[in-house]
Amino acid sequence: MSDIRYDGKVAIVTGAGNGLGKSHALALAARGAKVVVNDLGGSRDGSGGSLSAAQEVANHINAAGGEAIADGANVTKDDEVAAMVKAAMDQWGRVDILVNNAGILRDKTFHKMTMADFRTVIDVHLIGTALCTHTVWPIMREQTYGRVVCTSSPSGLHGIFGQANYGAAKAGMIGFMNALHLEGAKYNIKTNLLSPSAKTRMTEDIGIPEAILDQMTPEAITAAMLYLVSDDAPSQAIISCAAGGYARAYIVETEGVYLPPDEQTPENIAAHWEEISSKDNLKFYDNSAGPNMNFLAKAQAYAGKS
């Protein structure tokens, strides 16, 4: 198998001053990509800001013989994101890869969480991802090539105590990806998700033993990212990854049951709950038409027997 490389490609990586984003930016550059290293340079909760972290990563890439520019755009600000993308276009004339990685944490149980903290986390993760993607989307359509990776989380796929805001943002990326997968297909734009767990400043105090954390390297996550932005990448894939383990996550539905009109009551749903919930025959659908067709087929089959 030939090496996966990105020679001639231009990548933007958000939140690339530390942790996963830094690992992503360095690896893309090492494999030939020209990289915009974006980082607001704030603290873990999103406060403050400095270009120094992004500049340090860009300097490292340039010193190693690569090409990189540092950028301090706040991914929630339209004008700053537009300026970041313009800088990439002015420097290199295209944008091929976008890795949406910027994020913050403001963890609290929901009854103690302020709505300001809820909105801020949604803004950075979900709106920031959408804004950066929306800004590069016309470029990718025009050049009929684009690779977009969004960073979801086990919190969005499965839930984590005290992360209603973070989990909601990360789950929202699934619907975002599903739509962009469909809309980008004719333009060779592929959109995928990472669902990572790694040792970074975002996970340093969540109670995972140090010996386990040491195995959860950012580089292990970056390997999955590199595949998802390659020429031969899939689309609409969710890669769950941690400590060198990789799995594909799916949204599935059970086979379900059909209840005729005179039986469509909450009591009958309760009576059939075990059958409705059975995992014996799980279904994966490529789009929202799938479950509708499943239910309509059941209704038609019942009508044919009547």
Contact, 260 vs 300, CB < 8 A?
no
- Asked if residue 124 is part of any domain, the answer here is yes
Percent of the chain at pLDDT exceeding 70: 93
Based on the domain organization, do 260 and 152 belong to the same domain? no
Does 207 lie in the same domain as 183? yes
* Same-domain check for residues 162 and 109: yes
pLDDT tier at 163, thresholds 50, 70, 90: very high
Q: Is residue 3 part of a domain?
A: no
Query: End of a domain among 249, 277, 294?
Result: 249
Copy the structure tokens of residue 82: 């537009």
**pLDDT above 80: residue 206:** no
Distance between CA atoms of 74 and 81, rounded to whole angstroms?
A: 7
Rounded Cα distance between 188 and 94, Å, is 15
* Residue 111 belongs to domain with CATH number: 3.40.50.720
Question: How many angstroms separate the first and last alpha carbons of the chain?
Answer: 57
Residues with active-site annotation:
166
Confidence of residue 202 (pLDDT cuts 50, 70, 90): low
- 19-57 pLDDT, tens digit per residue, is 999 999 999 999 999 999 999 986 565 565 679 999 999
Q: How far apart are CA 45 and CA 47, in angstroms?
A: 6
Q: Flag whether 2 is in a domain.
A: no
CB 193 within 8 A of CB 174: yes
Find residue 195's DSSP bridge partners. 240
Identity at 213, one-letter amino acid code: L
CA dihedral of residues 119, 125, 131, 134 (deg, nearest 10): -130
Instruction: Residue 99: count other Cβ atoms within 10 Å of its Cβ.
Output: 30
- 209-255 tens-digit pLDDT: 676 777 889 999 999 999 999 999 999 999 999 999 999 999 999 99
Same domain, residue pair 278 and 141: no
| Together in a domain, 80 and 228 | yes
Do 286 and 230 fall within a single domain?
Answer: no
How many structural domains comprise the chain? 2
For residue 274, is it within any domain?
yes
Distance of CA 53 to the CA centre of its chain: 22
Residues 284, 232 share a domain? no
Residues 215 and 257 in one domain: no
What is the per-residue pLDDT for 214? 76
Which segments of the chain does DSSP mark as H helices, in order? Answer: 19-30, 52-63, 78-92, 115-122, 128-142, 154-157, 164-184, 210-213, 218-228, 266-271, 273-277, 289-305
Write the pLDDT tens digit of every residue in 244-284.
999 999 999 999 999 999 999 999 999 999 999 999 999 99
Does 171 lie in the same domain as 114? yes
Q: Is the pLDDT of residue 203 over 60?
A: no
* Same domain membership, residue 152 and residue 301: no
Residue 41 confidence (pLDDT) = 87
Q: Are residues 209 and 143 in the same domain?
A: yes
Residue 206 lies in a domain: yes
| Same domain flag for 265 and 300 | yes
Rounded Cα distance, 24 and 141, in Å: 24
Encoding tokens for residue 95? Answer: 């944008």
Domain presence at residue 5: no
Answer yes or no: is 32 within a domain.
Answer: yes
- The whole-angstrom separation of Cα 156 and Cα 176 is 13
Residue 1 lies in a domain: no
CA 218 → CA 6, 21, 23, distances in Å? Answer: 20, 9, 6
- Report the percent of the chain where pLDDT is more than 90: 86
Contacts of 128 (CB under 8 A, 6+ apart): 14, 75, 76, 100, 102
Which one-letter amino acid corresponds to residue 273?
W
The span from the CA of 148 to the CA of 100, in Å, is 8
Across the range 136-143, mean pLDDT stands at 98
pTM for the full model?
0.93
The domain boundary, picked from 221, 249, 277, lies at 249
Find the domain containing 294 and state its range.
Answer: 252-305
Residue 1 has pLDDT above 90, yes or no: no
Asked if residues 95 and 141 have their Cβ atoms less than 8 Å apart, the reply is no
Instruction: Round to whole Å and give the CA distance between 99 and 120.
Output: 20
